Structure 1
Amino acid sequence: MYLTRFEINAARRAARSLLASPQKLHAAVMAAFPPSAPTPTDGRVLWRVDRNQHQVLLYLVGPHRPDLTHLVEQVGWPTTHTWDTRDYQALLDRIEVGRQWAFRLRANPVGNRRKNADSTRSQRFGHVTVAQQTGWLLDRAERHGFTVVTGEHKEPDVAVHGREHVTFKRQGTDVTLSTAVFEGHLEVLDADLLRAGLVNGIGPAKGYGCGLLTLAPVRRV
């Protein structure tokens, strides 16, 4: 597995068009891998766009080393910047029970409910409030091998921001995603389950920039 970081030049017109469409971004990410690449036995391609005041960063995790030359030429800095790819196994090997990490996850928090009282079929709906979205993450944490650490006020140490409703076309049909970015601190309960979540993603809409969980060492004051 590999972790790649690529900075997008948001001032370019092509970048603005790309960032407005998860469908276009999905195609651009998948174009980083040749069709002849062998089918992975574990892990899949995951990606996420992080925005801050000064940068727009594309993070990509996958079983093969990507070639982002096309993105550098279209939405990057062709003469000065390329991309940074690192072996992801070094981090995966450091996952152990009881260790705490800072985490970030952009997800598509959804639930299922019956269409009406008499129906046996359910439909998917997006969670839209901070409380609903936080509950969605907490409900799924243990099955992915971690628990969210309790903060100093006896509340889960997780913040929700970057909440968006994204609508785009897919095969002529409108698709709407309710997304949110979660940041906080977690503690490892099951190392194998957490590793699986890191390489396979968490939640739906993984092809559209959701599901990539990333970890960083906890900064001690």
Structure 2
Amino acid sequence: MYLTRFRINTGRVGARKLLASPQAMHAAVMMSFAETLTPTDGPRVLWRLDRNGNAATHLCIVSPYRPDLTHLVEQAGWPTTARWETYDYTPFLKRLNAGDTWAFRLTANPVHHIRRNDTEPTKRTAHLTPIHQLRWLLDRQEASGFKITEKAQDKQLAQGLDTHDVLVHGRRQLRFSKGGKGHVTLVAVTFDGHLQITNADAFRAALTHGLGRGKAYGCGLMTLAPA
């Protein structure tokens, strides 16, 4: 597995086109691999856009193969002064153990299924409020091998409601055309917080397979940093 980070030159026309279309960005990411990538039950290519407070925008990629981002540098980077950084992710994944505590970032597409009455089929729809988006993540933590850290009572802004050490922010609605098959609309949000690993194998699977839906469009990738 490999972890790649590439800074996007947002002043370039090509960069703005990619940032405006998750479908175009997905295609550009997949062009980074010489290998033929077919759907399997194994690790997949995950990507995420991080827009930081200093106006820097980075593309993060986790992949089973080493990528070549030359085309992205030419289209959306600094061809003569900057490249990209790729790290061997496998040794880090192997060092993860139950009980470890990490800071994390995840961009995801929290959805649920609803229907108005018993005669209608269920319909997938996005969670729109932070409390329901957080509940979506909490519902997946046990199966994914982690537990989000809980806040001490004196750190809670509203006792009983602000109980977990996680910030839900950056909600954005993505709408784009999917290869002439109509439009796709999804809601993406970013979670920043702290977690503790409870099952290392399940957690490694979550890091390399992704969480939730919309993985082809910049959702599902969780990354870690020292707590």
TM-score normalised according to structure 2 size: 0.92
Q: TM-score, normalised by structure 1?
A: 0.94
**CA-CA distance at 1:119 after TM superposition:** 2.3
Describe the superposition over 1:71-102 as per-residue Cα deviations: whole angstroms up to 9, x where unpaired.
00000000000000000012201211111000
Q: Secondary structure at the match of 1:16?
A: helix
**Residue number in structure 2 paired with 1:166:** 174
* Structure 1 unpaired stretches of 5+: none
Question: Is the 1:40–1:63 Cα contact (8 Å) retained in structure 2?
Answer: no
Between stretches 66-75 and 38-47, larger displacement belongs to 38-47
Q: Does the 8 A contact of 1:168 with 1:175 survive in 2?
A: yes
Q: What residue is the counterpart of 2:99 in the other structure?
A: 98
Select 1:206's aligned residue among 215, 223, 226: 215
Give, in whole Å, the separation in 2 of the partners of 1:119 and 1:40.
35
For 1:21 and 1:38, locate their aligned partners in 2 and report how far apart those are by CA, in whole Å.
23
Q: What residue ranges of structure 2 are gaps of 5+ in the alignment?
A: 157-162
Instruction: Tell me if the contact between 1:111 and 1:126 (Cα under 8 Å) persists in the aligned partners.
Output: yes
SS at match of 2:81: coil
Measured after TM superposition, the shift of residue 122 of structure 1 is 1.0
Which residue pairs with 2:202 in the alignment?
193
- Matched residue, 1:184: 193
For residues 105 and 64 of structure 2, what CA distance do their matches in structure 1 show?
20
Alpha-carbon offset, residue 24 of structure 1: 0.2
RMSD of equivalent CA atoms: 1.5
Question: How far, CA to CA, are the matches of 1:130 and 1:38 in structure 2?
Answer: 35
Map 1:13-162 → 2, pairs under 5 A: 13-36=13-36, 42-52=42-52, 53-114=54-115, 116-119=116-119, 121-153=121-153, 155-162=163-170
**Contact 1:165-1:176 at 8 Å conserved across structures:** yes
- Give the residue type in structure 2 aligned to 1:156: H
Structure 1 outlier segments of 4+, above 3 Å:
35-41
Q: Size of the alignment, in residue pairs?
A: 217
